[in-house]
Structure 1
């Protein structure tokens, strides 16, 4: 589950961290690039010692470089983090974008509400927090089932 309460439910302040799935660790990334390079080179082995190899090599390197660049961009876009803090009086949400920008939302916990838009939001099971005249999304990067579970979890936590 890509979210976790970092403090026990009986603590005076609860904190929840949310993050996108990290399905490709650094070792897996290196192995994938090496495997891709090797598999692309297998057909070019028959061209060893010929002038055609030098004609094919730039395209092989371009293909591997394209895969590397795409995976790096994907990794950078997964650097999102959201932290929801619920203390006795306040609810605070801090959203860090992949570029490092920090967006914050805070409101009195008594007035904070959790909303779930099953079909009307930008995605199915869209979860938002509302309070202080603003409505902010939470966990938009989670899967549909995880957003449903997040909604139920937030409902229970805000009622305490």
Structure 2
């Protein structure tokens, strides 16, 4: 008897859709190092020209530029360490949001009544919204509009396969 109970529970917890959403990272750590070395080399060469011309204070501003570019990239990389997971079973859609390795949101939505909406805004951007039983949750805010549309289509397909005809 307990064996059939386990099989029903296993079937209910069987993943029907799994996704991990990451922000786009266009520059690898090696690429970042190469870029920073190129910027530093250009600033050094330009700084030497200004130094020879007698405008030595410009060198300090060029160094400040390199430092500010480095800080901006580091902040961008820190922000890019966020991600979201979607896990759909017959019983629920579990959404977890992580920032810098720490879970900051966990939400479970009932999949039978779940609506997946892509709300387009005048600016050309759009929002991917999940609605179920009065709960609303935006997911994938860092995704591009085509990625949001693709994710919405895939999630709708998984939900359609879950629901009876």
* TM-score normalized with structure 2 length: 0.78
Bigger Rg, which one: 2
Q: Following superposition of structure 1 onto structure 2, how do residues 54-73 of structure 1 map, counting pairs within 5 Å?
A: 55-73=57-75
Q: Following superposition of structure 1 onto structure 2, how do residues 1-160 of structure 1 map, counting pairs within 5 Å?
A: 12-13=14-15, 14-46=17-49, 52-53=55-56, 55-98=57-100, 100-119=102-121, 124-160=125-161
**1:67-95 superposed Cα distances (whole Å, 9 cap, x missing partner):** 00011111112122010001121111001
**What RMSD over aligned residues (CA atoms) do the two structures have, in Å?**
2.5
Tell me, what secondary structure is at the counterpart of 1:110? coil
- CA separation in 2, counterparts of 1:48 and 1:112? 65
**1:94-146 superposed Cα distances (whole Å, 9 cap, x missing partner):** 012358451111022212221121337x8633211112421001111111111
How far the C-alpha of 1:30 sits from its partner, in A, is 0.8
**Structure 2: where are the runs of 5+ without partners?**
1-12
- CA separation in 2, counterparts of 1:80 and 1:69? 18
Report how many residues are paired: 148
* TM-score normalized with structure 1 length: 0.80
* Higher helix residue share: 2
How far the C-alpha of 1:50 sits from its partner, in A, is 8.4
- CA separation in 1, counterparts of 2:138 and 2:21? 12
**Structure 1: where are the runs of 5+ without partners?**
1-10
